[in-house]
Structure 1
Amino acid sequence: MSLKIKKKFNAFNETLATKAKKIIEEEMPQKIFTLNDFLKTGDLFNVQDLSIFHQPIVPKPDSTFNPNKKRKLDEETESKTESKPVVYTDHTESCHPHLFKCIDFLKNEIEEVVSLCNTVKIYIQLNIPKIEDGNNFGVSIQEEVVKELSSAEDSAFAVLDSISKYYMQRAKLVTKVMKYPHVKDYQLCIWELDEKEYTWLRLTAIDIRNNYAMLYDMIQKNYDRIEKPRQENAHAALY
């Protein structure tokens, strides 16, 4: 490695270390307190009456299309009914407005979780010393913390995947309501789905707070080993 490249890399490493230390010492505990207060006093995740999610979905056919119109695919095949486009009332264009606010809030939080965890993780990984025989207890602590940070990232990405699945599942049910408006079970199923989604979103927000608390606690208890993984005659416990 040339001297010029080494200097640039060292500068990058120092900048990253400064940012990671600020996250560990200031931003991470502040996120714990902010989310905790928000979950206790905020209106978003403190809905007591889940019946607010029981808004009826009223399909309104587009008059420019005839649902009974048939077209001939070819001379030897049967006729096929054309799809029936439908527009909705304003409150059914997406999920329930309150749920949409919850999802939007969590998506922003997830983006921040991933960013913070990734910064701290790469800082610790770059602080892992070269491989040597013996005195690797501190290195094992670093690796364990990196593992927990990666797990928090994976959990955050899994939330985004679950949100997409919720929209897809709800869209299928809305389609059923459009096709069979007289079958009330589909409407009830959508209400149940929205209630379940709200409960899951609230638990997810709690999990994000808990992950911050767990990571902060683990890092603080092992900070000396994370900073200096190889110490002479040190016998620190992992937790």
Structure 2
Amino acid sequence: DGVLLLLPRQNLFQEAEEFLYRFLPQKIIYLNQLLQEYSLNVADLTSLRDDEMETDKQEMKEVPKCGFLSRNEKVLFLLALVKPEVWSLKEKCILHLICKIEDGNDLGVAIQEKVLERVNAIKTKVEAFQTTISKYFSERRDAVAKASKETHVMDYRASVHQQDEAAYGELRAMVLDLRVYHISSGNLQKIVNPKGEEKPSMH
């Protein structure tokens, strides 16, 4: 019976070691490399504009009444990179790594509380990420529809470009937040026990 009781605990320790010593270092390296990619370091946001946006072209074409509605492949490419990382963070990290606050009022505890405050802020952003992306698609859809219908109204075209630039900023900020979260989790032992001693914890 004692052996059976120890098995779940051993499995938990193995999962924790796998997470801390393999998953987190690899993830931080990957996110650092991702942040070095040109696709996440675009200085001129106007370059994100879709070259195939039909309403920007002057020549006449025989088109359906709804017009040609094209997607912004550059933004979709970034979304395909970032979205799996967000879901991984939500499923593998946040649900299992909300730490306890140690009793006391020293500097270590103050640092711990700040880190946990940051972790919780990122948790909130992750939970809002899906809503943000859904809103991007719905708002861009409406803007493209109006731009296709009212091709002489330049504000509709500008609105489409603005949606793409805003989405790019959101995606890059999300990658930065993901990296911060993983780096914070990499110091989990110091966060959980900033005083370096065994003592009761309080939530």
Q: TM-score, normalised by structure 2?
A: 0.72
For 1:88, what is the secondary structure of its paired residue?
coil
Q: How does 1:1-239 map to 2 (within 5 A)?
A: 7=4, 10-40=6-36, 42-55=37-50, 57-58=53-54, 61-62=63-64, 86=66, 88=68, 92=70, 94=71, 96-118=72-94, 120-121=96-97, 137=103, 151-217=121-187, 219-222=188-191, 229-230=198-199
Q: Secondary structure at the match of 1:47?
A: coil
Residue 99 and residue 152 in structure 1: after superposition, are their counterparts in 2 closer, same or farther (change >3 A)?
A: same
Residue identity in the other structure for 2:34: F
Q: Which has the larger radius of gyration?
A: 1
**CA positional deviation for 1:183:** 0.8
Go from structure 1 to structure 2 and tell me whether the alpha carbon gap of 1:164 and 1:214 turns closer, same or farther (over 3 Å shift).
same
CA–CA separation in structure 2 for the residues paired with 1:226 and 1:112:
30
Could you tell me how far 1:166 is from its partner in structure 2?
0.8
Q: Which amino acid aligns with 1:115?
A: E
User: How much has 1:162 moved relative to structure 2?
Assistant: 0.7
Structure of higher RCO (CA pairs closer than 8 Å, 6+ residues apart): 2
Distance in 1, Cα, partners of 2:85 & 2:63 = 38
1:173 is paired with a residue of what secondary structure?
helix
**Alpha carbons of 1:117 and 1:152: their partners in 2 closer, same or farther (altered >3 Å)?**
farther
Deviation at 1:147, TM superposition (A): 7.2
Please report how far the alpha carbon of residue 225 of structure 1 lies from its aligned counterpart in structure 2 after TM superposition.
Answer: 6.9
Task: Give unpaired runs (5+ residues) of structure 1.
Answer: 63-83, 126-135, 232-239
Provide the C-alpha distance between the structure 1 equivalents of 2:77 and 2:137, rounded to a whole number of angstroms: 14
**CA distance in 2 between partners of 1:18 and 1:153 (Å):** 25
Q: What is the total number of aligned residue pairs between the two structures? A: 186
Q: Is the 8 A contact 2:39 2:78 kept in 1?
A: yes
